[in-house]
Amino acid sequence: MDFENQLFWTRQEVYIAKIFLPIIIGFLLLSIGLLTAFALSFWWRHYRLWHLGKDENRFDQVATRVKTVLAVMFAHVRFWKELYPGALHFLIFWGILFIFLGKIVRLFSYPVGLTNPPQNIFKYASFISEIGGLLAIMGGGMAVYRRYIIKPSRLETKSERTLIFVWGFVLLMTGYVIKGYRIAAVGVSIPSNWLSWAPVSYMVSHLILILPSEPLNELLVWHRALIHTIPAFLLFAYVFITRNPLQHFFLSPINVFFRSLKLKGILAPIPNFEEAETFGVREISAYTWKQLLDLEACTNCGRCQDVCPAHLSQKPLSPRRMTQNLKDHLRREGPKLLSTPPDQRQPEAIMEKTVGEDELWACTACMACEEACPVCIEQISRNIDLRRNLVLVETKYSSDIRLTLKNLEKSNNPWGMARGLRTDWAKDLGVNPVRNSTGALNPATEQQGIISNGVKIFSEVTDPEILFWVGCCGSFDARNQKVATSMVKILQASGIRFGILGNEEGCCGDPARRIGNEYLYQTTAEANIGIMKRYGVKKILTLCPHCFHILKNEYPQLGGDFQVIHHTEFLMELIASGRLKLTKPINKAITYHDSCYLGRANQIFEAPRKILNSIPGLKLVEMERHRQRSFCCGAGGGRMWMEEHIGTRINQMRTDQAIATEAELIGTACPYCLTMLFDGIKEKGKSETMAAYDLSELVDQSM
Amino acid sequence: MIETSLRPIAVIVELAILTALTYCLFVGVEFTLFDLGFGKKYKTFVTWVMMIMGCLALIFFLAHLITFYPRISPMSRF
Amino acid sequence: MKIAVCIKQVPDTEAEIKWDTPKGTLKRDGMNPITNPFDEFALEEALLTRENYDGDIVAITMGPEKANDVLRSALALTVNEVHRCTDDAFSGSDTYATASVLAAALKKIGDVDVVFCGKQSTDGNTGVVAAEVAAILGWSPLTYVSKVRQIDAANKKIVVERAIEGGIEVIEAKLPAVVSVIKGINEPRLPNLMGIKKAAKTVIPQWNADDLGVDKGKVGAAGASTKVVEIAVPPPRGAGEILKGELEDIANIVTDRLIDMKVIK
Over residues A153-169, the pLDDT tens digits come to 899 888 889 999 999 99
Write down the domain spans for chain B: 10-68
CATH topology of domain A284-396: Fumarate Reductase Iron-sulfur Protein; Chain B, domain 2 (1.10.1060)
Q: Is B70 left (phi over 0), alpha (psi -120 to 50) or beta?
A: alpha
Query: Would you call A18 exposed, middle or buried from its count of C-beta atoms within 10 A (0-12, 13-18, 19+)?
Result: exposed
* Interface contact A191, partner B, CB < 8 A: no
Share of chain C above pLDDT 70, in %: 97
Write the residue in A166, A220, A241 that is nearest to B20 by C-beta.
A166
- The residue-averaged pLDDT of C199-206 equals 92
Q: Which residue of B has its CA nearest to A172?
A: B17
Helix/strand/coil for A694: strand
Which domain, by its residues, includes C93?
A: 2-218
- Number of structural domains in chain C: 1
DSSP state of A148: I
CB A525 within 8 A of CB A560: yes
The letter for the amino acid at A581 is K
What are the b/e assignments for C221-240, b being 16+ CB within 10 Å?
eebbeeeeeeeeeeeeeeee
Beta carbons of A209 and B21 less than 8 Å apart: no
Closest-CA distance, B53 to chain A, in angstroms, reads: 17
Chain C nearest CA to A361, separation (Å)? 19
Whether A463 and chain C come into contact, CB under 8 Å, resolves to no
Q: Would you call A207 and B9 a contact, using CB atoms and an 8 Å cutoff? A: yes
Residue of chain C nearest A417, judged by CA positions: C15
Query: Would you say the C-alpha torsion A553, A559, A560, A562 has a positive or negative sign?
Result: positive
The pLDDT confidence band at residue A111, using thresholds 50, 70 and 90, is low
Asked if residue C210 is part of any domain, the answer here is yes
Report the distance separating Cα A223 and Cα A227, nearest Å: 6
- Do the Cβ atoms of A163 and B24 come within 8 Å? yes
Interface touch A238/B7, C-beta < 8 Å:
no
Among C32, C189, C194, whose Cβ lies nearest the Cβ of A410?
C32
The answer to whether residue C232 scores a pLDDT higher than 70 is yes
d(CA C19, CA C228): 13
The C-alpha of A518 sits at a distance from chain C's nearest C-alpha, in angstroms, of 10
Question: What integer pLDDT is reported at residue B36 of this predicted model?
Answer: 77
Interval A280-297 mean pLDDT: 94
Q: Does A14 touch chain B (CB under 8 A)?
A: no
Minimal C-alpha gap between B3 and chain A (Å): 6
Contact residues, C window 148-207, toward A, CB-based 8 Å cutoff? 189-194, 196
d(CA C133, CA C62): 13
Nearest to C62 by CA among C8, C107, C12, C114: C8
Q: What angle do CA C168, C173, C179 make, to 5 degrees?
A: 70
Q: Which residues of A touch B32 (CB under 8 A)?
A: 238, 241-242
- Give chain C positions within 8 Å (CB) of A392: 192-193
Say if the Cβ atoms of A167 and B24 lie within 8 Å.
yes
Contact A519 C189 (CB under 8 A): no
CA distance A555 to A596: 19
What is the rounded (10 degree) CA torsion for C70, C75, C80, C84?
A: 30
pLDDT in tens, A179-189: 887 777 765 55
Q: What is the pairing mode between strands C167-174 and C25-26?
A: unpaired
Distance of alpha carbon C27 from alpha carbon A683, whole angstroms: 44
Mean pLDDT for the stretch of residues A144-152: 93
Read off the DSSP letter of residue A372.
H
DSSP E strands, B1-78: none
Work out the pLDDT band at A424, boundaries 50, 70, 90: confident
**Touching check for A206 and chain B: CB below 8 Å?**
yes
Of the ranges A678-682, A690-694, C16-20, C104-108, which one carries the lowest mean pLDDT score? Answer: C16-20
Decide if A48 touches C, using CB distance below 8 A.
Answer: no
Q: How confident is the model at residue A673 (pLDDT cuts 50, 70, 90)?
A: very high
Answer whether A420 sits within 8 Å of C34, measured CB to CB. no
Residue ranges per domain, chain A? 3-246, 284-396, 413-432+442-702
Strands A539-542, A466-469: parallel, antiparallel or unpaired by DSSP?
parallel
* Residue closest to B28 by CA, chosen among A597, C158, C123, A246: A246
Give yes or no for residue B72 having a pLDDT over 50: no
The half-sphere exposure of A33 on its side-chain side, counting CA atoms within 13 A, is 6
Work out the average pLDDT over C80-91.
91
Residues of chain A with C-beta less than 8 angstroms from the C-beta of C184:
none
Closest-CA residue of chain A to B36: A242
The whole-number average pLDDT for the span A563-588 is: 92
A393 contacts in chain C (CB < 8 Å): 192-194
According to the model, what pLDDT value does residue C60 have? Answer: 95
Q: Quick check: do B and A touch, 3+ CB pairs under 8 A? A: yes
Query: Helices (H) and strands (E) in chain A — how many of each?
Result: 30, 8
Pick from A453, A483, A447: nearest CA to A468: A483
Residues of A in contact with B68 (CB under 8 A): 211, 216, 220
How does strand A665-668 pair with strand C9-11?
unpaired
CA distance A334 to chain B (A): 14
Return d(Cα A137, Cα A114) in angstroms, integer: 33
pLDDT digits (tens, 9 = 90+) for A11-21: 555 555 666 67
Q: What was the pLDDT predicted at A110?
A: 62
Average pLDDT over residues A267-278: 88
Q: What is the dihedral of CA A334, A337, A342, A346, to 10 degrees?
A: -120
Give the mutation candidate from B31, B38, B61, B71 for the A interface (greatest A CB count, under 10 A): B31
In this complex, the residue of C15, C191, C194 whose CB is nearest that of residue A418 is: C15
What is residue A452's predicted lDDT score, i.e. its pLDDT?
57
Angle between helices A478-493 and A695-702 (to 10 degrees): 50
Q: Smallest CA–CA separation between A517 and chain C, in Å? A: 9
Q: Is the pLDDT of residue A566 over 90?
A: yes
Note whether A241 contacts B: Cβ–Cβ < 8 A. yes
The pLDDT value given to residue A4: 53
Q: Compare all CA atoms of chain B with the CA of A175 and give the residue at the minimum distance.
A: B17
Contact assignment for A393 to C194 by CB distance below 8 Å: yes
DSSP C85-125: E--GGGTT--HHHHHHHHHHHHHHH----EEEEES--TTT-
Q: Calculate the average pLDDT of chain A.
A: 87
Give the H/E segment covering residue A338. Answer: helix A319-338
Given phi > 0 = left and psi -120 to 50 = alpha, else beta, which region is A634?
A: left
Per-residue pLDDT at B6: 64
Res A485: pLDDT: 92
Q: How is residue A271 annotated by DSSP?
A: T
Inter-chain residue contact A220 with B68, CB threshold 8 Å: yes
Q: Does A279 touch chain C (CB under 8 A)?
A: yes
* pLDDT number for residue A188: 57
Partner residue opposite C16 with nearest CB, options A277, A278, A420: A420
Asked whether residue A645 carries a pLDDT value surpassing 70, the answer given is yes
ipTM of the predicted structure?
A: 0.83
Among A466, A429, A435, smallest CA distance to A543 is for: A466
Q: What is the pLDDT of residue A6?
A: 57
- For residue C240, give how far its alpha carbon lies from the nearest alpha carbon of chain A (Å): 21
Residues of A in contact with C72 (CB under 8 A): none
- pLDDT greater than 60 at residue A7: no
**For residue C78, which residues of chain A lie inside 8 Å, CB to CB?**
none
User: What one-character DSSP code corresponds to residue C239?
Assistant: P
- DSSP bridge pairs for A456: A450
Minimum Cα–Cα distance from B9: chain A residue: A207
Nearest to C193 among A279, A416, A418 (CB): A279
Per-residue confidence (pLDDT) for residue A445, from 0 to 100: 46
Nearest C-alpha in A relative to B10 = A207
C114: distance to nearest CA of chain A, Å? 28
Subunit contact C192:A416, Cβ cutoff 8 A: no
